[in-house]
């Protein structure tokens, strides 16, 4: 069964963040950041661990360093070199690499 939240921390405060509130996870310099509509948190989980935990969810890997919640996508447009650009509900733009584009198409049913 899908877990409904994950532990995150910000400024030494730890809390459980609902998966519904998470836009994406990004790995930068051996740290995993968790992005919501208004905040950025950190988690001790690695992307590959998150990928396993989120297997049967709305989250997909979109590049080597990013896992995206497809429910937060406003729209998707084809980009250069068989990639896609997803604009999220918060107007951020995420590039879906060529390698992960088929997974996105499958998840979105296109």
pLDDT in tens, 46-73: 999 999 999 889 999 999 999 999 999 9
Q: Find the CATH number of the domain harbouring 43.
A: 2.40.50.1020
Q: How many structural domains comprise the chain?
A: 1
C-beta neighbour count of 42 within 10 angstroms = 12
pLDDT of residue 3: 58
pTM for the full predicted model: 0.91
**Could you list the residue range(s) of the whole structural domain that residue 10 is in?**
5-108
pLDDT confidence of residue 80: 87
Question: CB count, 10 Å around CB of 92?
Answer: 14
Nearest to 98 by CA among 79, 82, 75, 80: 82
């Amino acid at each position: 069964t899908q877990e409904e939240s994950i532990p995150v921390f910000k400024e030494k405060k730890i809390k459980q963040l609902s998966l519904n509130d998470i836009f994406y996870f990004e790995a930068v310099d051996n740290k995993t950041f968790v992005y919501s509509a208004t905040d950025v948190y950190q988690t001790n989980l690695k992307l590959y661990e998150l990928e396993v935990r989120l297997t049967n969810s709305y989250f997909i890997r979109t590049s080597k360093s990013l896992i995206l919640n497809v429910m937060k996508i406003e729209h998707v447009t084809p980009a250069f070199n068989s990639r896609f650009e997803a604009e999220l509900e918060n107007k951020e733009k995420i590039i879906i690499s060529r390698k992960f584009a088929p997974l996105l198409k499958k998840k979105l049913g296109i």
